[in-house]
Amino acid sequence: MKWMRFRVRTNEEAEDIIISYLEDIGLEGAQIEDNAPLTASDKEQMFIDAPELEPDNTETGIEEGVAYLNFFLEIDDNNMLTVEYPDDNGEYATVKRTPDEMLSQIKEKLAELKAFTDIGDGTVSVDVTEDIDWINNWKQYFHKFYIDDVLIIPSWEKETDEDKEKAEMVLHIDPGTAFGTGMHETTQLCIRMLRKYVTPETELLDVGTGSGVLSILSLMFGAKHAVGTDLDECAVPAVKENMENNNISPDKFDMMIGNIIDDKEIQDKVGYDKYDIVVANILANVLVPLTPVIMNNLKSGGIYITSGIIDTKEEEVKKAHLDAGLEILEIHHQGDWVSITSRKN
């Protein structure tokens, strides 16, 4: 299998916003190369306590402040790229693109960004790389880490005695290749809101549940029951495995595959006026059409937690909350990302 790599030259400050913008055209996930030194927090999360094991950012060959973002798409025998991207209705469309078409779309998105933020050089190079062991190579970068006093640890690592003393709660997670780990700022923003609002009577709906991180943690925080929806059928085994790893009873968490935005069958299965909390950690352009639909699922007085919002889309998502008749309770920022929490009155 071959992959086409689109390599964007930018600066360290623009990494997150470029990654977010290019998700809109189907470039999901990026390999980042930069010369940014690790912060004390980074080192703590990576559990680097031996200087000789610390990554050496001085020998990358990359100029200070410069960053490269590498995006990969599979290329077939006809020199066509398979691209999946969310449309205006929140559905994921699969299309074929030529390399030139994809390159043109990337340049258009970068030109949009240049109009209001500094993305550095912004040039794009293209090349082809041979088959890579995507299934396992990513594991070398995912290590145990803390969100406040919650330890999130992958299945291939073990708790230390220090962990057992420090952690009030431990989430054992094996995210697989398709879903998040909880390390990203957007997920952390959601987790803190869930911890604040979950009660022993909470019925939770998790839209775009992925590996089930938010639902499983909500149940560990004391929620009564959770329902997760996702577009990807791979979410079902991922959630099942993570439930088992954390001793979550099968009757506590129901999974449903389908698009709650426009699929009446899924809407009926999920149910109406029954959730104390709905959480959605998705892209902003999916949250906008999702929000008025969620009003039907929330109980009166229910809490709606949204994240996955790059800061440039904050006003757009805030308007969607207000237009749906929601009362905004809290807005939190972490890095370039935003979480908006509202209530149905």
Specify the pLDDT at position 124: 95
279 and 189 fall within a common domain: yes
Which residues of the chain fall short of a pLDDT of 50?
38-60, 134-135, 177-179, 181-182
* Residue 305 in tokens: 């937690």
Owning domain of residue 119: 2-44+61-132
Contact residues for 153 (Cβ-Cβ < 8 A; gap 6+)? 144, 159, 163, 170, 171, 172, 173
In a domain, 176, yes or no: no
Last residue of a domain, which of 95, 111, 132?
132
Specify the pLDDT at position 311: 86
User: What pTM was estimated for this model as a whole?
Assistant: 0.67
* Residue 135 in tokens: 């299934």
**Sequence ranges of the binding site for S-adenosyl-L-methionine:** 187, 208, 230, 281
In a domain, 175, yes or no: no
**Sequence ranges of the binding site:** 187, 208, 230, 281
* Residue 241 in tokens: 């495995």
Specify the pLDDT at position 61: 59
Task: Look up the CATH number of the domain holding residue 320.
Answer: 3.40.50.150
Last residue of a domain, which of 132, 159, 192?
132
In a domain, 157, yes or no: no
| Closest C-alpha to 311, from 117, 26, 78 | 117
In a domain, 114, yes or no: yes
201 and 98 fall within a common domain: no
335 and 195 fall within a common domain: yes
Query: How many angstroms separate the CA atoms of 248 and 243, rounded?
Result: 5
213 and 81 fall within a common domain: no
206 and 340 fall within a common domain: yes
In a domain, 227, yes or no: yes
Specify the pLDDT at position 87: 62
Region label for 279, one of left (φ > 0), alpha (ψ between -120 and 50) or beta (otherwise):
beta
Specify the pLDDT at position 58: 43
Specify the pLDDT at position 312: 85
118 and 205 fall within a common domain: no
In a domain, 152, yes or no: no
pLDDT for 62-102, tens place per residue? Answer: 677 888 998 888 888 899 998 877 666 556 678 899 999 99
Specify the pLDDT at position 72: 86
109 to each of 89, 102, 124, how far by Cα in Å?
A: 20, 11, 12
124 and 203 fall within a common domain: no
195 and 339 fall within a common domain: yes
- Gyration radius of the chain's alpha carbons: 20
Specify the pLDDT at position 183: 54
* Residue 147 in tokens: 């969100």
104 and 39 fall within a common domain: yes
Domain count across the chain: 2
In a domain, 174, yes or no: no
210 and 119 fall within a common domain: no
230 and 292 fall within a common domain: yes
211 and 81 fall within a common domain: no
Task: Look up the CATH number of the domain holding residue 81.
Answer: 3.30.70
